[in-house]
Structure 1
C-alpha cells in the first residue's frame, strides 16, 4: 500500500521506487551485453542444431546415391569380403567396420591410407560394389555437427560452447526478471501493436523468451558436456579414476593407452575410456578374424548399426560399440582378438548415476529420446531462439539513438551492481570461461563509464 503525505508520495516510497528502477536498469544493461555477445552464436547453434536433429533423415536424402542399397533377394557378403572390396578401391589399412543399421543401408569401411587422413568407403554388401570413397566423417550430417560444436574450427573456438551456454542461462535469468509483470497490460502473454512499432518486437521477444526459456536452459546445460574446458573436466572428474569408465564398473584387464573416442563414435561418458589389450597369445595362435568377431557381436546381441574398431597389432582387440536412440541399447564390447572372449561388456545400465543423467540429457539434446516428438519440440525451440535473436535486433535498432550503440542507461545508484555482480560471480565460478568473459565485459564497461565521465567533465 502506497504511503502518502499530504497527497504526495512519501520519501520511503520514492526511494523504493528509485531502487526498483535502478535494479531494472542494471539487469537490463547486462541482459543487453549478454545478448550482444552471444546472440550471433546462438543463431548459428540454432540453425545447425535444427538440421542435425534430423541427421539420419537428412543424410539418407542428401547421400542416397551411396548410402541406400537394394537388398531384395540377395545374400550378404562376409565382412572380410566387404573389407577386401574396400581395400581394393582404397589401398591402406582397414581400421573400422560399421554395420549397416538397416538392410537398405550400405556398409561403411574406414581405411587409413599410407599418407593423409582416414577415408570412408561405402560398399554394397550384397554385390561388393564400392559406391563412394570420401574423407572420414565428411557427410553432410557430420559437417553440420562439427559446425554446431565449433569443432570444425579447431580446439580453441570450441571454448565458445561454454561461454555461449553460460551466457544463454544468464539471458534467460535476466530476461525473466525484465519480463515479470509490473501492472502493465499486454506484453506478458500477448503481443501488442504491429511490426512497424517497437512494442510489437518487445512483446514478441518477451513472450517468446518466457515460453522457450526453459528449453533454452535445458539445451545450454546439456550442451556443456561438449565444451573443451567444463565438459572435459567434468568427464575426467566423473570417470577419470577408473581408466575412463564410469565409476562402479569393475575393470581388471590390461589397458592400452588408446582411448575409445580415437577409434569410434562413442558416448560422452566413454570419450576417455581406455581400450583394453589382448593378452599375449600362445605361440602361433591366430586372430579370430573379422568374420568370427562380427558373428560374436551378433550373438551377444549388439544393436544393429554398431561400429567395430579393428585390432591395430598383436595386443589389439575388436571393439564393438553402438549408441542408438534407445539409451538402454547403448553398449561397448571389447573382444580378445585371439580367443573371442569379451574383456569388457558394458551398457548404459552400468553407468553411474551422474553419467546416466548426463547421457539422458545429451540424448534428448540430440532429439533421440522421444522419437519424432523430441525432434519437433527441439525444432520449435531452435525456431524460438532465432526469433528471439531477430526480435532483439529489431527492437534495439528501433530504440537506439542515431549514432549511438544504444546501451541501456546506467542506474543512478551504482550500489545495485554489487548484488548483480555477486550473482554473476557465482555463475562465473560454475562456468570458468563464462566467468572470464563476464569479467572482461565488466572491465570494459567500467572503463567506458570512466571515459564517458571524463569527456563530460572536459
Structure 2
C-alpha cells in the first residue's frame, strides 16, 4: 500500500515592518543646509584665497629670482665696510629725500637703505641696495613697508585682489567663514558615522566606493578632517589684520593691555634726567632745540646694538632730529623670533630696551601667528605646510562642487543641471532654550565678525521664512538616514 507523505504547507513568516525613515533633527537640518549654502556661496572666495595664498607662500623664492641683483651679493667678502660708508654710498645714488631706515646686510644679503620721496605716499619708500663689502650700489626699488614690488603685488592680490578697501571684503568674508565651514563639516561627518566612528573611517576615504557621491564625499570629508586644525589657524590669524574683525581684535587686545610694546624714542626727558643736555642747548623758553642728527653716527649705533645682544637681522630707524632716539629692532621672523628693541642716542648710550621675552603672551601669540600665516616662522617647512593646506582646501572645494553635480536628477522627467539643496529639517521647532542662548550668541559673534554675522542672519531669516510659509503649502517630507546620497 502506498504511503502518502504528509506534506505540511509552510507558514509564511510575518513581514518585518519597515523602519520609519529617521527624521532630520532640527539642529542637524539647519547645520546641513548652512554648510551646503555656505560652501556653495563662500567657496569661490576661499578658492581665490587658497590659490593666491600659494603664490604668496613662495614669495621669498620668487623675490630671489626676480631681484637677485638687488637682494644678494655674488661674492661676499670677509668684512663689511663701516655702516656709515654704506649709507653714504646709498645717499650718493639717491641725493634727495630723508634717510628713514637702514637694514644692514650680512652673508650674501645686501644692505637696504630707505629714503622718503615726496612723489610717494606715506606707505612707500625709495630703497637703495648696497653691497656691504664693496659699497657698490646694486639697485634701487620703490618699496612698500620695506617689501619689494613683487611682494606688494602678491600681498595685495591675496588680500584684496587689487581692488582696495572693497576688495578686502572678499578676504575677510573668506576668513570669517573658513573656520565655521570646516567645523560644520567635521560635525556632519562625525554625525554621519554614528555607530562606526573608527579612526580609519573618519580620516580615510571610502575606497570601496568605486564612483558616485559616496566616493567623492569620502575624499571631501576625510581630507577636510586632516585640514581642520590648519584651516582654523588660517581663519583666526587672517582675521587679526582684516579691516573690520581686525579692528575689533585690536580693541580687545588694547583693553587687555596686551598690545605689542615699543621703545620710547623721546630723548628730551632722558637728556634732562641724565643732566647732560648734550643733544642741544635749552632756549630761554625751556624748549630743546631740535638739532639735525648726524647720519655718520649709525656705525656707533649699530655696533652698540650688537654689543647689547641684538643678533641676526635688524632694522635701524634713523631719528628726524637730535631730540629723538635711534631705535634698533630685531627683524628675524624665524623661530625663535628676534624682536628685541633698543633706543639709544647718537653716542650709543641705550636709554630704553624692550625684549621680545617681555612681551605680553597675547602679543607674542599674535606675532607668531602673523609670521606663520605668512610662511616665515619656520622657513621652508612653514611654506610647504601652507602650500599643502591651500592645495588641500582647493581639492575639498572641487570635491564639494562635484558632489553637488553628482546629486543632480538625471531622469528624463526631472533632469536638472545640479543637485538640489539638502532637505530642510523642521529647525523652526528648536527648543526655546537654544533660541534664547543662540540668538544673543549669534549677535555677539556677528558684531565681532560682521562678515560672518551679517550673511548668517540673512540666511537664517530667509530660511525661516521659507520654512514657515513653505510648510503651509506642502507636507513635510521625511529624510532618510543618508539624505545626501543619490
TM-score, normalized by the shorter chain, greater than 0.5: yes
- Native 8 Å contact 2:30 2:424 kept in 1: yes
Distance 1:230 1:93 in 2: 35
Following TM superposition, by how much is the alpha carbon of 1:178 offset from its aligned partner in structure 2, in angstroms?
1.7
Distance 2:70 2:63 in 1: 10
- Native 8 Å contact 1:87 1:93 kept in 2: no
The answer on 1:333 being equivalent to 2:342 is yes
The answer on 1:302 being equivalent to 2:310 is yes
- Native 8 Å contact 2:36 2:422 kept in 1: yes
**Secondary structure at 1:321 match in 2:** strand
Shift of the 73–399 alpha-carbon distance from structure 1 to 2, 3 Å rule, reads: same
Distance 2:427 2:381 in 1: 48
Following TM superposition, by how much is the alpha carbon of 1:360 offset from its aligned partner in structure 2, in angstroms?
3.2
- Match of residue 357 from structure 2: 349
Q: For this pair of structures, how many residues does the alignment match?
A: 420
Describe how 1:124-273 pairs up with structure 2 within 5 A: 124-136=131-143, 137-150=147-160, 152-180=162-190, 181-182=193-194, 188=202, 189-192=204-207, 197-239=212-254, 246=258, 269=260, 273=262
Following TM superposition, by how much is the alpha carbon of 1:135 offset from its aligned partner in structure 2, in angstroms?
1.5
- TM value normalised by structure 2: 0.74
- Match of residue 68 from structure 1: 72
Describe how 1:402-441 pairs up with structure 2 within 5 A: 402=416, 406-412=420-426, 414-416=428-430, 419=434, 422=439, 424-425=442-443, 427-428=445-446, 430-441=448-459
**Secondary structure at 1:414 match in 2:** helix
Following TM superposition, by how much is the alpha carbon of 1:274 offset from its aligned partner in structure 2, in angstroms?
7.7
Distance 1:142 1:119 in 2: 14
Match of 1:120 among 127, 131, 144: 127
- Native 8 Å contact 2:30 2:427 kept in 1: no
CA RMSD in angstroms comes to 3.6
Shift of the 454–214 alpha-carbon distance from structure 1 to 2, 3 Å rule, reads: same
- Match of residue 484 from structure 2: none
- Native 8 Å contact 1:306 1:322 kept in 2: yes
Shift of the 437–315 alpha-carbon distance from structure 1 to 2, 3 Å rule, reads: farther
Shift of the 410–241 alpha-carbon distance from structure 1 to 2, 3 Å rule, reads: closer
- Higher Cα Rg, which structure: 2
Following TM superposition, by how much is the alpha carbon of 1:347 offset from its aligned partner in structure 2, in angstroms?
1.9
- Native 8 Å contact 1:34 1:170 kept in 2: no
- Match of residue 277 from structure 1: 266
Match of 1:365 among 373, 379, 386: 373
Describe how 1:314-333 pairs up with structure 2 within 5 A: 314-324=322-332, 325-333=334-342
Unaligned residue ranges in structure 1 (runs of 5+): 1-5, 248-268
Describe how 1:5-84 pairs up with structure 2 within 5 A: 8=17, 17-20=22-25, 23-73=27-77, 75-84=79-88
Q: Any idea what the Cα deviations from partners look like across 1:173-225, whole Å, max 9, x if unmatched?
A: 21012212046899642234778633332211111111111211122123222
Unaligned residue ranges in structure 2 (runs of 5+): 1-14, 272-278, 282-288, 410-415, 475-486
Following TM superposition, by how much is the alpha carbon of 1:72 offset from its aligned partner in structure 2, in angstroms?
4.0
Q: Any idea what the Cα deviations from partners look like across 1:231-276, whole Å, max 9, x if unmatched?
A: 333334334687xxx47xxxxxxxxxxxxxxxxxxxxx35xx5853
Distance 2:471 2:417 in 1: 19
Following TM superposition, by how much is the alpha carbon of 1:308 offset from its aligned partner in structure 2, in angstroms?
1.4
Shift of the 82–371 alpha-carbon distance from structure 1 to 2, 3 Å rule, reads: closer
Distance 1:236 1:314 in 2: 34
**Secondary structure at 2:133 match in 1:** coil
Match of 1:85 among 84, 89, 92: 89
Q: Any idea what the Cα deviations from partners look like across 1:334-357, whole Å, max 9, x if unmatched?
A: 2234x4333331122111122223
Shift of the 274–447 alpha-carbon distance from structure 1 to 2, 3 Å rule, reads: farther
Distance 2:155 2:162 in 1: 9
Q: Any idea what the Cα deviations from partners look like across 1:1-58, whole Å, max 9, x if unmatched?
A: xxxxx95479xxx59x3143x5433222100222133322222332333343444333
Distance 1:205 1:300 in 2: 53
- TM value normalised by structure 1: 0.78
- Native 8 Å contact 1:224 1:231 kept in 2: yes
- Native 8 Å contact 2:35 2:185 kept in 1: yes
- Native 8 Å contact 2:168 2:243 kept in 1: yes
- Native 8 Å contact 1:71 1:103 kept in 2: no
Q: Any idea what the Cα deviations from partners look like across 1:148-176, whole Å, max 9, x if unmatched?
A: 33385434543544432331121122101
